[in-house]
Chains A and B, each alone.
Chain A
Amino acid sequence: MKTSDNVWVVIPSYNEREALVHVLATLAGLPVSTVVVDDGSTDGGANLAGASGSWIIRHAINLGQGAALQTGIQFALSKGADVVVTFDSDGQHDAGDISRLVAALAENNAEFALGSRFLGDAPGIPFTRRVVLQAGVMFTRLFSGIRVTDTHNGIRAMTRKGAQSVNLTLNRMEHASEFLDQVVSSQLPYVEVPVSIRYSPASLEKGQKSTAAFRIAATLMAERLR
C-alpha cells in the first residue's frame, strides 16, 4: 500500500468489545484510516475505539452487519476514500491481508478484491462450517452466476468506483450474497485473493451458527421471488 492511497478500513461491530480493541491495535500501524460502525452494541466496546485513532459511527439500534457495512462504505466515500476495505471486528481477519487485497486491485486492474479462505488458510475451521460454506458457494454459483471460492468472507477491498456501485439493502447476514450479486450486476472486474481466517473458540461461539445458513437462504429466495 502506498501512503498516497486514501485507504479506509470499515469495521462493523456488534458487542465485540475485547476483540475490537485487539483488531484496532493491529491496524494502528498501517497507513489507513479506520471507521468502526457500532451496530447498536450494549457492551460499550465502541467507546474504546476513539482512543485508537478510529472514527466511530453508532447506529441507534441494531440493524445488522450489512447495514453497518453500507453505513461505513458510504462514510468512507464521503471522506474521499480511494479504496475501501471491509474487515471484521471479531479478530478472525489478518491485518496483513489488507495490503495484499489493495495491491491485487492494481495488479489485476480490478475494482473488487475478494478474500477467500479456501485459496488461503483457515486453520481450525469446523467441518460443519466448511460444508455450509461450500454449499453457499454452490448456491451462489447457481443463483448469482458468480464463480468464487468463498462467498461469505467479510474481508474484501474495493476501489472507489467499485464501492460506489455497492448499495446493500439486506441488513443482516444475507448482505454477503447481495454484495456478490451487485459485483456481478456492476460488470466491474473482480479478483479473488488468498486470505487467512483464524478461528478461535470465542469467535466461533459468538459467530453465526451453521444453521443460520437456512434462514439466509430463505431470505435470499424471498427477495428474489418478490
Chain B
Amino acid sequence: MTTFQLLAIPTCIMFALIATRRRRNLLTRRQSLVWVFVWLTAAIVVTLPNIASAIAHVVGIGRGADLILYVMCFASILFVRYFYHKQRRLEIALTALVRTSAVATAIAPARDP
C-alpha cells in the first residue's frame, strides 16, 4: 500500500462517518446518503485504482486519472453554479428586506412639496 493510500483511505472513511451525523451537520437523509456514497467511492477508487482505469476504458477515456479529472471539472461547475444562484437569491431577498424597511421609514422634507 502506498503512502497516499495510507492517508487517503482513512480520511475518506472518516468523512463518510461524519456524513452519517445528519442532525449535527444539518443534512437531509438524501444528502447524507449521497455524501456517504461519494466518500466510500473515493475510498474504493483509492484502494483499487485499476477500477477507475477500467471504467475509463469502457467510456473511451485513456486513463483513470483523466476520467476523475473530467468528473471533478463537471462537478465543480455544477457546484459553482448552485452556490452562485443561492447567493444571488439571498442578495435579492436581503435587498428587498432592507428596501421595504427603508421606504416604510422615509422622512419627508421639512417643507412637503
In the bound complex, residues from chain A placing their C-beta under 8 Å from that of B98 are: 59-61, 63, 67
In chain A between 51 and 79, which residues have their CB closer than 8 angstroms to a CB of chain B?
Answer: 51-61, 63, 67, 70-71, 74-75, 78
Task: Let me know if B107 and A222 touch, CB within 8 A.
Answer: no
Of the residues A55, A56, A70, A226, contact of B99 by C-beta under 8 Å: A70
In the bound complex, residues from chain B placing their C-beta under 8 Å from that of A169 are: 88, 92, 95
Judged by DSSP, the binding face of B is helix
Among B92, B94, B106: residue with most chain A CB under 10 A: B106
| Minimum C-beta distance from B91 to chain A (A) | 7
Interface assignment of A144: CB less than 8 Å from any CB of chain B: no
| Minimum C-beta distance from B107 to chain A (A) | 4
In chain B between 13 and 48, which residues have their CB closer than 8 angstroms to a CB of chain A?
Answer: none
In the bound complex, residues from chain B placing their C-beta under 8 Å from that of A67 are: 95, 98-99
A144 to B101 CA separation, bound complex (whole angstroms): 33
| Minimum C-beta distance from A138 to chain B (A) | 26
Task: Let me know if B84 and A50 touch, CB within 8 A.
Answer: no
| Minimum C-beta distance from B98 to chain A (A) | 5
Interface assignment of B110: CB less than 8 Å from any CB of chain A: yes
A56 to B112 CA separation, bound complex (whole angstroms): 12
Interface assignment of B85: CB less than 8 Å from any CB of chain A: yes
Query: Chain B: how many interface residues by the 8 Å CB criterion?
Result: 21
Interface assignment of B102: CB less than 8 Å from any CB of chain A: yes
Judged by DSSP, the binding face of A is mixed
Residue of A with least CB distance to B101: A60
Interface assignment of A171: CB less than 8 Å from any CB of chain B: yes
Task: Let me know if B106 and A57 touch, CB within 8 A.
Answer: yes
Interface assignment of A33: CB less than 8 Å from any CB of chain B: yes
Task: Let me know if B110 and A50 touch, CB within 8 A.
Answer: yes
A37 to B91 CA separation, bound complex (whole angstroms): 19
In the bound complex, residues from chain B placing their C-beta under 8 Å from that of A33 are: 113
In chain B between 73 and 113, which residues have their CB closer than 8 angstroms to a CB of chain A?
Answer: 81, 84-85, 88, 91-92, 94-95, 98-99, 101-103, 105-111, 113
Task: Let me know if A55 and B108 touch, CB within 8 A.
Answer: yes
B residues adjacent to A (C-beta < 8 A): 81, 84-85, 88, 91-92, 94-95, 98-99, 101-103, 105-111, 113
Can you report 7 A-B residue pairs in the complex whose CB atoms are below 8 A from each other? Answer: A56-B109, A57-B102, A63-B98, A67-B98, A169-B92, A222-B84, A226-B84
Give me 11 other A-B pairs in contact (C-beta within 8 A), A51-B110, A60-B101, A171-B91 excluded.
Answer: A33-B113, A35-B106, A55-B106, A55-B107, A56-B106, A57-B103, A58-B107, A67-B99, A70-B99, A71-B102, A223-B88
